Structure 1
Amino acid sequence: MSTPRTLTLPDGVHPATLDTDRGSFATLQARPDVGTPLGTVLLVPGWTGSKEDFTPLVDHLARYGWIAVAVDQRGQYETPGPADATAYTLAEFGADVVAMSTALGGYSQLVGHSFGGLVAREAVLTDPSVFSSITLLCSGPGAFGDEVTRQGLQMLAFGLENLPIEQVYDLKLDHDSKELSYVAPASDVTAFLRKRFTGNAPIGLAEITKRLLDTDDRTDQLARSGVRAQVVYGETDDGWPLPIQDAMAETLGVRAQTVPDAGHSPAIDQPAATARLLVDFFHKR
């Protein structure tokens, strides 16, 4: 779970609703102050995340001349979602992202963080024509393979299907707070994290959790899509093991890039360095 450092929006970053032919999505957006925009960057958050995971990155990308749009996916925080498990397949999520890019004019530079990377890949495989590139940010080729991680995800999915989501959050927080690396955030951020988690559609979050357990590796297909790809991770990323991300990059015909002094959330830990890697990639042909 990404933890924002602050909830204060930078000047120029504002909430907006993105209307598409598959429904409306809550976003944070920013545009460059001067000149003609270079294009659009569409940022897709991960498991238990939200558009706020990209707030500082949205600001930096706009300063580089790009329209930046970070979204809440269906059932995620401020975007409503149906109480129907079949609505939360990767195919449904991917079709949403295709619709978002189309509504934004197409040819988006697509960035998917963690689980959002799996969704971004699905979107490209669904319709590569509406994307200029894809960046897999701290993401992986498919389901987690580590048994301890899988057991934790299975327990969380079971809890979301059988307990009030508020109780699930309290249990998760109690577990996480016992980790040696846990640092309690500021009180307003603490309140936001609870509001965000409990604002999810419970069945949607349960199904997203299951996608981290059952998603197939489709990297070969992505490599054949014709859409330029980038793989980026924080140097201490603790999501998918770094050798697995390196192997994914190799299959895509690229070398993984590292954000120094960053973990699983480079957009929060080091937004300036992350933005620089992204825009350099966007301009490369």
Structure 2
Amino acid sequence: MGRPETPDAALPAVRAPDASPVAAPRGDQAPGSSAQCHPHRARPVTVASSLGPLRALRADPVEEAAAGGAPALAVMVPGYSGSKEDFAPLIDAVAEGGIGVLALDLPGQYESPGPDTEAEYRPAALGPVLAGIVADEAAAGRRVLLLGHSFGGLVARAAVLAGAPVSGLTLMDSGPGELPMGRRRTQLDVLEPVLRRRGIDAVIALREAAGEWSATAPPVVDLLRERLRRSTVAGLLGMGDALRAEPDRTAELVATVRARRIPCLVVCGLDDDAWPVSMQRTMADRLEAEFAAVPGAVHAPNVENPAALLDVLVPTWRTWLRDDVPV
């Protein structure tokens, strides 16, 4: 039996009537971007997990567009300091492609409570939690297509290794192991002692002083600021540590996806500055996975160039679903 899901009337869907995604060649947010406040038809829900309730956005598929067979659901997992709202620009288009959407906050992110111990936020700990959610969806008769962005990709991989019954795995801007040396890893090194000693508000002040959100629409800045404030310190520290210590588990994943015949896609921004594109392409080769690099995107094509990302995701997923239907 699946765990119960609760519609959450107190959690309004993020909507901005005039918002639209804008592509940008560089940066984490396009100029004037309103991506996380992009309008969508998903409803806010609370999903039960082994670590407690998680807030999520759920959208039903357009049945007329379904690929046949059991209903399909894309479960989307955000990255470090992210949230379900990062997938707002994708929700309606995926649903219109005949695939439902469940976009989650991970434990400790934004509106989802989480444990107080940093070690519980490592992918090896969060993977089984996510695997339980996927198992609930499968028990309800849905074929789950699991997508993880950045740190969320490490968690999605751990979920599959923990036995999550998925019909496809997409790793987006996520590498084979720890973050290599570069700007993003250095930022984690710099911000960790600030977070430990002075708290989240000091981190927000530093990010604002650095102009990180200067090209972002004010409503989105408000959201980014608020979700940082509401995320757990243990979660931010634990995920940050994991990003600098995660082992390369690609060999394990290769064995698992081959044994279970799970189709895989590795997709990233053409100018990803976290894990190099060449590293992600090599990981895709090892997985015998499809690979795509999204132009006009760096580390978050879901907000930087969602239209181009959707051109990759929806056709690929629909092909997987058709191939999964017995003839």
Q: Fold match, TM over 0.5?
A: yes
1:104-141, CA deviations, whole angstroms, 9 ceiling, x for partnerless residues? 2254100000111111101101114x111110101111
Instruction: State the one-letter code of the partner of 2:95.
Output: A
Query: Which of residues 76, 82, 87 in structure 2 aligns to 1:49?
Result: 82
User: Would the aligned equivalents of 2:120 and 2:238 in 1 still touch at CA under 8 Å?
Assistant: no
> How far off is 1:8 after superposition?
4.3
Query: Which of residues 23, 29, 53 in structure 2 aligns to 1:24?
Result: 53
User: Would the aligned equivalents of 1:13 and 1:29 in 2 still touch at CA under 8 Å?
Assistant: yes
Instruction: State the one-letter code of the partner of 2:159.
Output: A
User: Would the aligned equivalents of 2:36 and 2:89 in 1 still touch at CA under 8 Å?
Assistant: no
- Give the share of equivalent positions with the same residue, in percent: 34
Counterpart-to-counterpart distance in 2, 1:102 and 1:214: 28
Counterpart-to-counterpart distance in 2, 1:53 and 1:2: 11
Deviates more, 1:269-278 or 1:210-219: 269-278
Quickly say closer, same or farther: Cα 1:147–1:113, change in 2 above 3 A: closer
Instruction: State the one-letter code of the partner of 1:118.
Output: L
The residue aligned with 2:103 is: 70
The residue aligned with 1:206 is: 237
> How far off is 1:82 after superposition?
2.0
Counterpart-to-counterpart distance in 2, 1:79 and 1:147: 30
Quickly say closer, same or farther: Cα 1:9–1:153, change in 2 above 3 A: closer
Quickly say closer, same or farther: Cα 1:256–1:161, change in 2 above 3 A: same
Matches within 5 A, 1:130-209: 130-146=165-181, 149-175=184-210, 177=211, 183-209=214-240
Counterpart-to-counterpart distance in 1, 2:36 and 2:241: 29
User: Would the aligned equivalents of 1:161 and 1:203 in 2 still touch at CA under 8 Å?
Assistant: no
Residue 256 of structure 2 aligns to a residue whose secondary structure is coil
Quickly say closer, same or farther: Cα 1:279–1:7, change in 2 above 3 A: closer
> How far off is 1:260 after superposition?
2.2
Deviates more, 1:153-162 or 1:3-12: 3-12
- Structure 1: runs of 5+ lacking an equivalent: none
User: Would the aligned equivalents of 1:135 and 1:229 in 2 still touch at CA under 8 Å?
Assistant: yes
Number of matched pairs: 280
Query: Which of residues 117, 127, 149 in structure 2 aligns to 1:113?
Result: 149
**TM-score normalized by the length of structure 2:** 0.79
1:7-37, CA deviations, whole angstroms, 9 ceiling, x for partnerless residues? 5453422211112344211111111244467
- Structure 2: runs of 5+ lacking an equivalent: 1-26
Q: CA RMSD in A?
A: 2.1
Deviates more, 1:84-93 or 1:143-152: 143-152
